[in-house]
Amino acid sequence: MSLPNKILVLLIEDDLGDAQLVQIALRQSSQVQFVVTWVDSIAKAQAQLSEMVFDVALLDLSLPDSAGLATLLKLKQLSPRLPIITLTGHSDIEFALAALENGSADYLVKGDFSPDSLSRTIRYALQRNELDARNRLMVAALEAAANGIIITDYNGKIEWANSSFCHLTGYETAEILGKRPGDLVNSGKQNADFYKQMWEVILKGETWRGEIINKRKSGDLYHEELSIAPVRDEYGKVTHFIGIKEDISERKQLESVLQQLAHTDSLTGLYNRRVFVERLEQETARLARSDTSPISLLMLDLDHFKRINDNFGHAMGDSVLRHFAKLMKETIRSIDLAARLGGEEFAILLPGADKNEAIGIAERICRQTASSALPCRTDPLHYTVSIGVAQVLVHDRNTEAALHRADSALYSAKANGRNQVCWFEP
């Protein structure tokens, strides 16, 4: 820190001799120029402070209009940021400590200081005042940060937290000081290995970054983006950690929605064509590696669906598609994958199902569809489905072969009168 070449001093002293000694001592300083304004009461000090800005105050606690620590407190009220050096006529350690605790920057006994020591005391007071101002600015910046910020000791116990951390977790400041973050927000969603790896990184003096699921005081879970940076002392030893926490729950929720939109059909809630083809590719590759269990495939198409749209409107057509999707999900097994490929066309992948099992599932869907009419305001709306059934074969090079066989079987079902199941025959 660089000190100014000229330091403005407000000397508040009612004894003429003591005031002259102080001014003489300051004039003898060769390092900096001290410009002294001398007053002999708090009232006069107030008048001076209203007219100009001083760098430091030298204060005698025994004045005509005030005495003792009350004098110090009055001056602090008049100028809260002004560094004050207390002057007294006696050496009293307890009194000195009391003055320091009440805001005095330092303490000097009259007649017991040299010009150098007085100058040095003033300069140190100014340095500490600037350092305090910087600290207040940094604390204000940390408090204003939207992210939750905590400072812990080497053992992870919280020494400081900003208001955003309290807002994020639901805890008051008094509830968190001295506690470890894990004692407050651990959700149990991360295992011991997760935290072990985290500590291994930060104890090496490196910054850890990652995403974590934590728990608020209310018990609600939230997603958090967390970074933990170690703080080293002048010898390079890690002494503290700074944690910066950002609530990313809304972002994760949006990502989940976008992922769902990318994987599912928005109308029926079934998987879309892309997911179905990817899963079929996986099953085809698995079958090629180990010819152990059969895989069957259903292609389904609602009969005369265009008539439903033309006669009842597209809103009713959408209701039919949702109704059929719900019926399918209730009929198939938990391991099966149903998808809407587009329009009124659907497909179902049946892992582990041979010809007889696949035909049985298809016929059950066909019967359920024909007997489960869609409720309407007037008469129930009846509709049917045609289904083609085929097997995925070991020698299939890609998904197109199996899809083509199932589609050929579906074409046969529709050509033979609809509302029926056909097995693919070469």
Q: Is there a shared CATH topology between the 6-142 domain and the 264-423 domain? A: no
CATH class of 6-142: alpha beta
Enumerate residues 6+ apart whose C-beta is below 8 A from 353. Answer: 294, 295, 296, 336, 361
Longest dimension (CA), the chain: 123
Q: Using CA atoms of 132, 135, 136, 138 in order, give the dihedral in degrees to the nearest 10.
A: 160
| The pLDDT value given to residue 349 | 97
Q: Nearest 5 degrees, angle CA 209-CA 214-CA 219? A: 170
* 81 to 109, 118, 129, 288: CA distances (angstroms): 23, 20, 8, 80
CA separation for the pair 110, 387 (Å, rounded): 105
> Exposed, middle or buried, 337 (CB in 10 Å: 0-12/13-18/19+)?
middle
| The pLDDT value given to residue 234 | 87
CATH class of 264-423: alpha beta
| The pLDDT value given to residue 109 | 83
CATH class of 145-252: alpha beta
The residue among 82, 67, 72 whose CA lies nearest residue 10 is 82
* 289 to 282, 366, 395, 396, 403: CA distances (angstroms): 11, 33, 11, 12, 20
| The pLDDT value given to residue 144 | 83
Q: Which two tokens stand for residue 332?
A: 């198939």
The two beta strands, 33-39 and 6-12, are parallel
Q: What is the pTM of this model?
A: 0.58
List per-block mean pLDDT (blocks of 10 residues) for the chain, which spans 426 residues. 76 91 85 89 93 92 89 91 84 75 84 81 85 81 88 95 94 94 94 94 94 95 95 92 94 86 90 93 86 90 94 92 95 94 95 94 96 85 96 87 94 95 89
The residue among 322, 330, 320, 346 whose CA lies nearest residue 269 is 322
| The pLDDT value given to residue 2 | 55
Q: Decide: helix, strand or coil at residue 174.
A: helix
| The pLDDT value given to residue 6 | 86
> Exposed, middle or buried, 295 (CB in 10 Å: 0-12/13-18/19+)?
buried
| The pLDDT value given to residue 202 | 94
Domain range summary for the chain, segments of one domain joined by +: 6-142, 145-252, 264-423
The residue among 117, 119, 111 whose CA lies nearest residue 20 is 111
| The pLDDT value given to residue 141 | 81
| The pLDDT value given to residue 3 | 60
